[in-house]
Structure 1
Amino acid sequence: MRTYIALAVMVLLCAFTSSWETDFTQAKNKAQQENKYILLNFSGSDWCGPCIRMKKELFDTPAFQAFADGHLVLVNADFPRQKKNRLPKNLQQQNDQLAETYNKAGSFPYTVLLDENGKVIKGWDGFPKESPEAFINEINQGINGKR
């Protein structure tokens, strides 16, 4: 019985976690349909220490997940270096184009808040020094300034 309860809790937790899109065009369409903003994160998932920390200590927190579910379409533009983690060519090309448009300096991690049409509202260079709640507050300030 305990096994079933534990399994049910895990399924529910997974159901309420925001998933990260990899296709930017689909993410823009979703943002337009759901009247949400886009949070685009440039990451080096297998080599960038601050990127890995950011995922764990910020994006994977319950507070951020709950906020993102109601307000954001999350997009991950990943730039892995290890051969085993290489992206399909079309996804790598898309991420290169996104970097050319939104991350010309090539910073990692680099996070950008966009409106539903892809217009930049606010950007964060590096790992945010604040708590998840403070980061959420900064996103809200960007959203409220846009309205």
Structure 2
Amino acid sequence: MVQKSIFRSLFGLVLLGFLATGFAQEKETVEPGWFTNMDKAMESAGKDGKLVLAYFSGSDWCKPCIMLKKKILTSDTFKKYASEKLVIVQLDFPAKKKNQLPEDEKKHNEAMAERYNAGGAFPLVALIDKDGEKIGELSGYDRQTPDEYVNQLKEITKNAGKTGN
């Protein structure tokens, strides 16, 4: 009888663990060191002489956004380049009610989209200089390798004559 009770308890804990893991993976989270506020990202970039990379995502509905983050933005190649040249701000637009952002963050992200992503592309990565001017962008996810993606970012900065090469 005691063994049956222990088995049920363990089974329940294992099931709960699987469910929690599944729900946790439904929505991507902001990576450590990334910002969710453009003003704070701009301030940090100004101090460090870096560009801001604004990442517009639909974290719980946009498959290309999820793949871009999984395959590129969290890769060692991208992280190394970003740590040296970029400050990253994630501007998220989740669809599911349970993933909704606080109202002030929603308004902030909408204002940033009006300024830097007027076309409403998802995912969109915009490179922004210290003056708040967009110097270039990459939209979508075309299954590039991390090296290819970083090289595209370098080309944008090179052509704009900005730091980030």
State whether TM-score is above 0.5: yes
1:76 aligns with 2:76: no
SS at match of 1:97: helix
- Whether the aligned pair in 2 keeps the contact of 1:18 and 1:68 (CA below 8 Å) is no
Q: Call closer, same or farther: CA 1:72–1:18 in 2, change over 3 Å.
A: farther
**How many angstroms does 1:107 deviate by?**
1.1
* Alignment partner of 2:137 out of 106, 112, 123: 123
> Following the alignment from structure 2 to structure 1, what is the Cα–Cα distance between the partners of residues 153 and 32?
16
- Structure of higher CA gyration radius: 2
The aligned residue for residue 34 of structure 1 is 48
Of structures 1 and 2, the one scoring higher in RCO (CA 8 A, sep 6+) is 1
1:19 aligns with 2:64: no
> Following the alignment from structure 1 to structure 2, what is the Cα–Cα distance between the partners of residues 128 and 31?
28
Give RMSD over aligned pairs. 1.4
Deviates more, 1:34-43 or 1:125-134: 125-134
> Following the alignment from structure 2 to structure 1, what is the Cα–Cα distance between the partners of residues 107 and 69?
23
- Aligned identity (percent) is 35
Q: Per-residue CA shift, 1:6-31, capped at 9, x if unaligned?
A: xxxxxxxxxxx862210100000110
The aligned residue for residue 19 of structure 2 is none
SS at match of 1:75: strand
Q: Per-residue CA shift, 1:18-74, capped at 9, x if unaligned?
A: 622101000001100000001111100001000000000000100000110010000
- Whether the aligned pair in 2 keeps the contact of 1:32 and 1:117 (CA below 8 Å) is no
> Following the alignment from structure 2 to structure 1, what is the Cα–Cα distance between the partners of residues 74 and 59?
14
TM-score normalised by the chain length of structure 2 = 0.75
SS at match of 2:44: helix
Q: Per-residue CA shift, 1:92-141, capped at 9, x if unaligned?
A: 00000011111111111111111122211111121144211111112112
Deviates more, 1:69-78 or 1:129-138: 129-138
| Alignment size in residue pairs | 131
The aligned residue for residue 127 of structure 2 is 113
The aligned residue for residue 86 of structure 1 is 100
Opposite residue 82 of structure 2, the aligned amino acid is A
TM-score normalised by the chain length of structure 1 = 0.84
